[in-house]
A and B are shown apart, each in its own frame.
With several copies, the nearest count.
Chain A
Amino acid sequence: MKPFEIVEEPIQSQRYVDYVLHAGAGAVTVFTGHVREWTHGVRTLYLAYEAYIPMAEKTLAQIGAEMEEKWPGIKTAIVHRIGELHISDIAVLIAVSSPHRKAAYEANEYAIERIKEIVPIWKKEIWEDGEEWIGAQKKYPGKGKK
């Protein structure tokens, strides 16, 4: 397992928790994003995730570096799954350990916001009567922007 990775198989949470845990960690936060059955009254059958894998892993690692700069002392792992995902499957997992809890919460939430901004991963929702690539329009990002 790599601390910042894209996988095609089900995400095994414990691996990433074990990776961030150490004797100096007093708090661990784990966020998992799951495939939800209903979104705005429309029933999702399944999702298809696609990634530009090398750049996605690079940007995940970049987010990890940003986090460790902002919250010194934390340790982070982030994994995103691609391929066909069904209801309740884990799409993304963020594990953060920290000596104290505040940083573990803040850094974790920062990670998911940044993932949604810069990591080249795309989600297609497949419903009973159609499908669509999801993605909010964002301003053109600055180079090396944090």
Chain B
Amino acid sequence: MDRRTEKVSGEREEMNMITVNYFARLRELTGKTKETIERGSMTVQELLDWAEETYPGFGKDTVHVAVNEEYALKEDVIQSGDNCAFIPPVSGG
């Protein structure tokens, strides 16, 4: 492996990064407002499964996911670099 390959490999690894944001109950449960996941791509369903596994009591069945500030379907694919948010049941108004 020469330096050039190493560098490309390094860049690729840097890009394996999905940002997730937590709000309200989920912010308190995880103790975080945001974190990054080292994945190149995953579906919304996979992200929800990951969250439930990582944070018991997450309640993925009532949590929606926004990708880049748009509500996403469970089968939608999240790409590295995307900015995601877990949206627990809203209660504005």
Contacts and interface: CB of A to CB of B under 8 A. Distances in A.
Interface of A: 33, 49-52, 54-56, 58, 80, 91-92, 112, 115-124, 133-138, 140-143, 145
Contact of A135 (B21, B70, B89): B89
Dominant secondary structure of chain A at its interface with chain B? mixed
A45 to B, nearest CB: 17
Interface of B: 21, 23-25, 27-28, 62, 64, 66, 69-74, 76, 85, 87-93
A143 B33 CA distance: 25
A80 B21 CA distance: 21
Nearest to B67: A143
Contact of B92 (A121, A138, A142, A143): A121
Contacts of A138: 62, 89-90
B91 A123 contact: yes
